[in-house]
């Protein structure tokens, strides 16, 4: 596994930012593995009372892979956009697996680790969310991406706007209506 700043990755990131989809292809498994590995590392730390924030995680992956040098927001935005997809996959793969283990399927609850949130918020069925987002993507891909970036990658409204190249106001509107729809899809059936 690539540990520490790596020229290959920064080059691939640059190529990808320049529109090379093959570079993206090559980045996917590298980043996926690194996310997963780091997530595990953080999990251990979490037991000692730390909390795991996705943003911090993705940020660290980015720094490890691309290096401090040449840190440009445009690349970083690209990176976050991809990481969101991959984080979604890490989670969904995991959740789906847990569901299969229990032979129940589908009724997996993955809660946020934010302690305040746990107390006040209903758990999210990640598998169902994933499927709902797939359906949303079919009619409104941008809105689906907004949810992915906000929820799975933990980007702020402003960061999401930059990553997608749209205005923060648009992100806010997409986010608000998506939440309404998803809430109804996932929690009021």
CA distances 82 to 24, 61, 77, Å, are 9, 12, 9
| Pick 68 or 138: Cβ nearer another protein | 138
Contacts of another protein in 70-129 (CB under 8 A): 85-91, 93-94, 96-97, 100-101, 110-114, 117, 120-122, 124, 126
Could you give the dihedral angle defined by the CA atoms of residues 168, 141, 180 and 59, in that order, rounded to the nearest 10 degrees?
A: -60
Is 173 near another protein (CB under 8 A)? yes
Quote the least distance from Cβ 184 to another protein, whole Å: 6
Q: Is 158 in the site for another protein (CB under 8 A)?
A: no
C-alpha span between 102 and 33 (Å, rounded): 26
Q: Which residues contact 140 (CB under 8 A, 6 or more apart)?
A: 174
User: In the chain, what is the greatest distance between 2 CA atoms, to the nearest angstrom?
Assistant: 49
> Nearest distance from residue 38's CB to another protein, in Å?
10
Q: With CB under 8 A as the contact rule, which of the stretches 59-67, 68-76, 136-144, 160-168 interacts with another protein?
A: 136-144
Element (H, E) at 39: helix 21-46
Our finding on whether 54 is near another protein (CB under 8 A) is: yes
Residues 23-42 contacting another protein, CB under 8 A: 24-26, 28-30, 32-33, 36-37, 39-40, 42
DSSP 65-76: HH-STT--HHHH
Tell whether residue 143 is a contact of another protein (CB under 8 A): yes
């Amino acid at each position: 596994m690539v540990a520490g700043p790596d020229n290959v990755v920064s080059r691939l990131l640059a190529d990808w930012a320049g529109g090379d989809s093959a570079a993206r292809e090559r980045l996917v498994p590298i980043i996926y593995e690194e996310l997963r590995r780091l997530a595990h590392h953080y999990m251990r730390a979490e037991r000692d009372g730390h909390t795991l924030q996705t943003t911090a995680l993705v940020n660290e992956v980015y720094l490890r892979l691309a290096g401090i040098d040449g840190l440009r927001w445009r690349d970083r935005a690209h990176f976050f956009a991809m990481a969101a997809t991959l984080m979604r996959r890490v989670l969904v793969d995991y959740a789906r697996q847990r569901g299969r283990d229990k032979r129940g399927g589908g009724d997996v609850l993955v809660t946020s680790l934010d302690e305040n949130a746990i107390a006040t918020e209903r758990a999210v069925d990640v598998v169902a969310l994933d499927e709902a987002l797939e359906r949303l993507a079919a009619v409104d891909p941008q809105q689906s991406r907004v949810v992915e970036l906000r929820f799975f990658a933990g980007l702020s409204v402003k960061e999401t706007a930059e990553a997608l190249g749209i205005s923060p106001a648009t992100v806010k509107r997409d986010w608000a209506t998506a939440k309404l729809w998803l809430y109804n899809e996932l929690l009021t059936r």
